[in-house]
Amino acid sequence: MTDYLWDRSGELDEDIQKLEEILAPLAYQPRPLELPATAQPGRRRNLYPVLAIAAAVALAALALGIWLNINRDASGVPQKAEATITAAVEKKDSPEIVDLPLKPNEDPKAGSHPNPRPVHRGTSPVRNQLALNRRHDRKTLEPQTEMSAAAALEAEAGKEQLLLALRLASSKLSLAVKRAQGGYPANLIRNQHKVG
**What residues make contact with other proteins under the rule CB under 8 A?**
48-49, 51-53, 55-57, 59-60, 63-64, 67, 74-77, 79, 86-93, 109, 111, 114-115, 125-127, 151-152, 154-156, 158-159, 161-177, 179-180, 186-196
In the complex, least distance from residue 110 CB atom to other proteins, rounded to whole angstroms: 11
Closest to 97 in 3D by CA, of 153, 62, 135: 135
Phi-psi region of 123 (alpha: psi -120 to 50; beta: other; left: phi over 0): alpha
Closer to other proteins by Cβ: residue 19 or 177: 177
CA–CA gap between residue 146 and residue 138 (Å, rounded):
6
CA–CA gap between residue 187 and residue 176 (Å, rounded):
13
**Measured CA angle at 109 (ends 107, 112), to 5 deg:** 85
In the complex, least distance from residue 157 CB atom to other proteins, rounded to whole angstroms: 9
In the complex, least distance from residue 187 CB atom to other proteins, rounded to whole angstroms: 8
In the complex, least distance from residue 167 CB atom to other proteins, rounded to whole angstroms: 6
Closer to other proteins by Cβ: residue 133 or 192: 192
Neighbours of 133 (CB within 10 A): 14
- Reduced to 3 states (helix: H, G, I; strand: E, B; else coil), residue 133 is strand
**Measured CA angle at 112 (ends 111, 113), to 5 deg:** 90
In the complex, least distance from residue 124 CB atom to other proteins, rounded to whole angstroms: 12
Closest to 107 in 3D by CA, of 67, 162, 78, 150: 150
Closer to other proteins by Cβ: residue 19 or 55: 55
The neighbouring-strand residues paired with 132 are 98
Closer to other proteins by Cβ: residue 10 or 78: 78
Closer to other proteins by Cβ: residue 5 or 53: 53
What's the first-to-final CA gap in the chain, in angstroms? Answer: 117
In the complex, least distance from residue 54 CB atom to other proteins, rounded to whole angstroms: 9
Closer to other proteins by Cβ: residue 16 or 186: 186
